[in-house]
Copies of this chain bind each other. A is one copy, B any other.
Amino acid sequence: MSQSTFGKKFTVTTWGESHGKALGAVVDGVPAGLFLTEADIQVYLDRRKPGQSRYTTSRSEGDQVEILSGVFEGRTTGTPISLIVYNKDQRSQDYGNIAQTYRPGHADFGFDSKYGFRDYRGGGRSSGRETIGRVAAGAIAAKILKELGITLQTYTSSIGPVSCQGFHPEVISENSFYMPDMVAAKKAVQYLEQCMRKNDSAGGVIECRINGVPAGIGDPVFGKLDAAFAQALMSIGAVKAVEVGDGVKVSSMKGSTDNDGFHMEDGKITKTTNHAGGILGGISDGGQILLRAHVKPTPSISQAQQTVTRTGENISIEIKGRHDPVIVPRAVVVVESMAAITLVDAMFSNMSARMDYVKDFYL
């Protein structure tokens, strides 16, 4: 199995290569009766498109999604929703270089070791274009969550060494990095310019905040909600670390500081702080869920790098062609999509957790 399916109750199967005919996803477990159009999904896909800025590739990716099944008269039927995006830009190129050489920081060597063979065109299955299927599915998940009063806010919190100092959600969509801090966004421009001049690339951090999640979601042992988020976010190509709540900081904190107290607020049990990021013991605690993904710098750089060919010859390689000097802004919606998919899956699993729930449902 190449494990292209995610989830247990709300499942997403993605398929497709960067330069194949098309890419897509089959989303199974969508409840019947949700109003859903291609426009709902297109909004999400457009967020992962290259922006107008010069920091993302100029490849014209129309990436129009088509719904092939599972929707009838504007509503989901409960059966699998097949989504497809045709690859329009498959112009023939000379991939000989990449075909025979292992690009540093890429999955080329791993694929060859595993399969003995790979579709080397544009990274094939390990291309960032694989995330098209995830984002299309994520749009559906996010729409389900919205119906339940749950919203996601995802943004770039740092680009290279440039971190946001303030949090102004209203400016997220006003800069091409999706940063909630315009000052940081401007500094990021300067940093990236510098990277580009040196034929280098940058990474960054993406944060996702989820509001409105009821307490009680997630399972106690291997199905912990944070474990599911960790798998989901780490499964995104360039992510090398995942944090929940205070994340890496907790290891140097004291219990008295890290523990979130509880108190009554408006007749409701509420936490006084949120170091835990909304998840305790793997189960949501009613607080805002906070996730953080660390994205490595784009591995494709046009500097000379040391590598080997498939036949074991030491060579130097310079990766030419269209490559984002930073993929973080385009990955923001991918993180949001994976978070939404994970949460819907966990929420659906939760519905038979109590005998009284089951009885209410069936009797």
A247 within 8 A of B: yes
Of A49-57, A113-121, A169-177, the one contacting chain B is A113-121
Which chain B residues lie closer than 8 Å to A130 at the CB level?
221
Of A39-47, A179-187, A200-208, the one contacting chain B is A200-208
Q: List the number of copies, as a whole number.
A: 4
Which chain B residues lie closer than 8 Å to A286 at the CB level?
109, 113
CA distance A354 to B313 in the complex (A): 25
A127-168 interface bits toward B, Cβ cutoff 8 Å, 1 = contact, 0 = none: 000100000000000001001110000000010110000000
Task: Across the interface, name the chain B residue whose C-beta is closest to A81.
Answer: B15
Which chain B residues lie closer than 8 Å to A4 at the CB level?
26, 28, 79-80, 219-223
- Are B260 and A314 in touch, CB under 8 angstroms? no
- Are B234 and A230 in touch, CB under 8 angstroms? yes
- Are B104 and A260 in touch, CB under 8 angstroms? yes
- Shortest distance between the CB of A329 and any CB in chain B (Å): 13
Query: Which of B17, B107, B223, B234 contacts A280 (CB under 8 A)?
Result: B107
- Are B357 and A348 in touch, CB under 8 angstroms? no
- Are A32 and B354 in touch, CB under 8 angstroms? yes
- Are A297 and B253 in touch, CB under 8 angstroms? yes
Which chain B residues lie closer than 8 Å to A246 at the CB level?
240, 296
Interface residues of A in 4-29 (CB under 8 A from B): 4-6, 8-11, 13-17, 20-24, 26, 28-29
Q: Please tell me the size bucket of the interface on A.
A: 35 or more
CA distance A230 to B230 in the complex (A): 5
- Are B358 and A31 in touch, CB under 8 angstroms? yes
Task: Across the interface, name the chain B residue whose C-beta is closest to A350.
Answer: B114
Most chain B beta-carbon contacts within 10 A, residue among A3, A10, A298, A305 = A3
- Are B231 and A295 in touch, CB under 8 angstroms? no
- Are A203 and B2 in touch, CB under 8 angstroms? no
CA distance A301 to B253 in the complex (A): 13
Query: Which of B121, B126, B202, B358 contacts A254 (CB under 8 A)?
Result: B202
CA distance A9 to B352 in the complex (A): 9
Which chain B residues lie closer than 8 Å to A34 at the CB level?
355
Interface residues of A in 267-281 (CB under 8 A from B): 267, 269, 272, 276-277, 280-281
Most chain B beta-carbon contacts within 10 A, residue among A1, A125, A359 = A1
For the A-B complex with A113-B215, A357-B361 known, give 14 more contacts whose Cβ atoms are closer than 8 Å.
A1-B223, A4-B79, A31-B357, A34-B355, A106-B280, A109-B286, A110-B216, A158-B252, A222-B231, A227-B231, A241-B250, A241-B251, A247-B294, A248-B294
